[in-house]
Structure 1
Amino acid sequence: MTAIKVLVTRPVAQAKAMVELLQKQGFQVQHLPCLAIEPVQLISEDGLQSKRLAMELSTFDHVIVISTNAAQHWLDLVQDYWPQWPVGVNWWGMGESTQAMLVAAGIDAGRPATGDTSEALLAHLLPQIRMHDKVLIVRGQGGRQTLSDALTAAGAKVDYAQCYQRKMPQLSALQLLQVDEFAPQAVILQSGETLENFDALLAHKPWCDKHNIVLVLPSMRVADQARALGYSVLLTSSSASNQSMCDTLLQSMLLPIQK
C-alpha cells in the first residue's frame, strides 16, 4: 500500500524537522516553502525600534516571543546588548519550540500548558498583569492584535519589536515541476499567511483540487480562512507545532488512502 504524499510548506530554515518527523511515520514527503522569512533592516523604522527596545529590555515586566522566527532574530539582536539577562523580566514563549530556543539561550521562559495559541497564553497571563505593567511582544511585521488588545484592556502598556518580515517566496521552475511530479495528497500549512501564499501559488495546479486535497491547519481560525478560499477537506490541529500537526494527520487515518 502506497503511503500518502505530504507537502511541507514551512520556510526553508524550519522545514527539516517536520520533513524528518513525517518520514519517520511512513509518509512520502516533499518540501516547497510557501513563506519566506527575512530579518528587517536595522536602518528601517522597525529595525531602529527593535534596537531601542533591545536596549530597554530591563524596563519590561513581561516579554512575549511569538514564534521560533521571532526568537531567532530577537536573540541575534538582543544578545549584543545583554551578555547577562536582566532580572525581573518574565519571559513567555508561544509554543514548545519557541520556549526551547529561549531556554537554550539561558532564559527562564514559560508557556501555558493549555495550548500554543494567543488565547491560551492570555488565559494564563492576564491574571498576572498589573495596571501599568510594561509588556513587549516580539514578532514579525504585521499579525494579529489579539494579545495587544487584551493586554491593553487589562491596563498594560504594550510595545512591539517587529524583527523579521514574511514574504511570498520566489520559487524556481524546477521546484514547481518537482511538486507537480510528486502530486501531493495532503499539505501541511502552519500559518494563515502560508495558506494564503499556497493558494496564490498552487491552487491552479491539477493536483490541487480544493474538494479533494487535504489541508492540515494549525487552528480553527486558519481553517475558517481555508473554508473561505474554497477548500473542503480540512484537518485542524491543536497547535502549529510539528508534532501536533503530524499527530493530526496520523489520527485522521489517512495512511491507507491512495490516489
Structure 2
Amino acid sequence: MVATGPLAGRTLLVTRPADQAEGLCALIEAAGGRAWRWPLLEIVPVGDAAPALALLNREDWDWLVFVSANAVRCAAGLQSWTRRGLGSTRIAAVGAATAQALAETGMRVDLIPKPQFNSESLLATPEFTQVLGTRILIVRGAGGRELLARTLAERGAETAYAEVYQRRCPQTDATALIEAWRKGGVDMALATSGEVLAHLMDLLGEAGPELAARTPLAVIGGRIAQHARERGWRRLIVAEPASDSGIVAAIIGFYREGGIRRDPPGLP
C-alpha cells in the first residue's frame, strides 16, 4: 500500500533510546513517513543507587525536580525509596513526558514549566524565582547541565542531585547507515539532546560534515540548534514545544514551507 500523508515518501532517522522512541515513531508513521530507528543512547540504572536513595528518603525537601521521564522511571524503580516525604514536598516535572511518567507512577505534579519544557522555563516560573532558604532536590541522570542547580543556589536555595541513571552509547556499525544516507536514504535526522547529536557525529566520522551539510536536522530548543550549527548542520528545524507532537508538527511545517521531497531508495 502506498503511504499517504504530509510525510509520505520521506525517511526520518530517529536517534532516541529505543524505549523512548516509539511514540515519536508512531506519529511519524501516522503522517505517512518512515521512521528509521537508530538509537544512539542507552539508559541504564546507576551502579550504586545508595547516594540517590539517601537524598530521596530525606523528608525535608521543599521541591523534587524531575528533569526527564527517565529520571522518574529509574527513581520509581528504587525499591528502598519510601516516598514518605512526598505529602508536603512539591514536585516539578520538566516536560509533558516527565509529568506523564509521574502520573503513571502515582505521583502528583505541582508544576510543569511552559512555554518550553526546559530548565530555563522552570527558572522563569514564580515558584523558582524566589527560592531563598528552600531545599530543592534535582532528580536526573549522571552528569548533565549544571544551569538549574547553579542558578537556584545563586538565588539562595539548598540544592542537591539524586542521580538515578546513566547514559551509554551503544556499540554499532554505521557502515550501512552511511552508505544508505549517501544514496539519499535519509531525508531528515532527529537529535533530541546534545549528547545524541555528539554521538551521531562521532558515528558518522569522516562522512559527518558532508551529510550534515546536505540533510535537514530536527532538534528541540535553541541550545541544541546552536551545537548543530557548530557541527556543520545548515538546515535546522527547532521544535517548540519539545514534545513528540511538537517535533512532528515542526517537521511537517518545514516540508509544507518548501522542504525538498525525495523518494528514498531501499534500505537495509
Residues 187/231 of structure 1: CA separation in 2 closer, same or farther (3 Å cut): same
Identity of aligned pairs, percent?
26
Q: Normalising by structure 2, what TM-score?
A: 0.86
User: In the alignment, does 2:39 pair up with 1:33?
Assistant: yes
Partner of 1:127: 129
Partner of 2:10: 4
What is the alpha-carbon distance in structure 2 between the residues aligned to residue 229 and residue 10 of structure 1?
Answer: 19
Partner of 2:266: none
Most deviating of 206-215 and 120-129: 206-215
Partner of 2:80: 80
What is the alpha-carbon distance in structure 1 between the residues aligned to residue 52 and residue 208 of structure 2?
Answer: 44
Shift of residue 178 of structure 1?
A: 5.8
1:1-259 correspondence to structure 2 within 5 Å: 3-42=9-48, 47-56=49-58, 58-77=59-78, 80-82=80-82, 86-109=86-109, 110-124=111-125, 125-129=127-131, 131-171=132-172, 173=173, 176-177=175-176, 180-181=179-180, 183-205=185-207, 209-253=211-255, 257-258=261-262
Residues 180/15 of structure 1: CA separation in 2 closer, same or farther (3 Å cut): farther
Kindly indicate whether the alpha-carbon contact (under 8 Å) linking 1:190 and 1:217 is maintained by their aligned counterparts in 2. Answer: yes
Kindly indicate whether the alpha-carbon contact (under 8 Å) linking 1:122 and 1:147 is maintained by their aligned counterparts in 2. Answer: yes
Q: Which amino acid in the other structure matches residue 14 of structure 1?
A: Q
Shift of residue 160 of structure 1?
A: 0.1
What is the alpha-carbon distance in structure 1 between the residues aligned to residue 162 and residue 81 of structure 2?
Answer: 15
What is the alpha-carbon distance in structure 2 between the residues aligned to residue 207 and residue 177 of structure 1?
Answer: 17
Shift of residue 181 of structure 1?
A: 3.6
Most deviating of 103-112 and 93-102: 103-112
Shift of residue 207 of structure 1?
A: 10
What is the alpha-carbon distance in structure 2 between the residues aligned to residue 157 and residue 192 of structure 1?
Answer: 27
What is the alpha-carbon distance in structure 2 between the residues aligned to residue 19 and residue 207 of structure 1?
Answer: 26
Residues 211/178 of structure 1: CA separation in 2 closer, same or farther (3 Å cut): closer
Q: Unpaired runs of 5+ in structure 2? A: 264-268
Q: Normalising by structure 1, what TM-score?
A: 0.88
Could you say what secondary structure the match of 2:212 adopts?
coil
What is the alpha-carbon distance in structure 1 between the residues aligned to residue 208 and residue 241 of structure 2?
Answer: 29
Kindly indicate whether the alpha-carbon contact (under 8 Å) linking 2:140 and 2:161 is maintained by their aligned counterparts in 1. Answer: yes
What is the alpha-carbon distance in structure 1 between the residues aligned to residue 206 and residue 224 of structure 2?
Answer: 20
Kindly indicate whether the alpha-carbon contact (under 8 Å) linking 1:216 and 1:235 is maintained by their aligned counterparts in 2. Answer: yes
Shift of residue 256 of structure 1?
A: 5.8
What is the alpha-carbon distance in structure 2 between the residues aligned to residue 101 and residue 119 of structure 1?
Answer: 21
Most deviating of 103-112 and 218-227: 103-112
Q: Unpaired runs of 5+ in structure 1? A: none
Kindly indicate whether the alpha-carbon contact (under 8 Å) linking 1:5 and 1:185 is maintained by their aligned counterparts in 2. Answer: yes
What is the alpha-carbon distance in structure 2 between the residues aligned to residue 81 and residue 51 of structure 1?
Answer: 6
Residues 204/4 of structure 1: CA separation in 2 closer, same or farther (3 Å cut): farther
CA-to-aligned-CA distance 1:67-86 (integer Å, 9 cap, x gap): 11111101111x53326663
Which 4+ runs in 1 deviate beyond 4 A? 205-208
Residues 240/176 of structure 1: CA separation in 2 closer, same or farther (3 Å cut): farther
What is the alpha-carbon distance in structure 2 between the residues aligned to residue 176 and residue 250 of structure 1?
Answer: 29
Residues 37/220 of structure 1: CA separation in 2 closer, same or farther (3 Å cut): same
Kindly indicate whether the alpha-carbon contact (under 8 Å) linking 1:184 and 1:207 is maintained by their aligned counterparts in 2. Answer: no
What is the alpha-carbon distance in structure 2 between the residues aligned to residue 180 and residue 68 of structure 1?
Answer: 34
Could you say what secondary structure the match of 1:158 adopts?
strand
Q: How many residues align?
A: 250
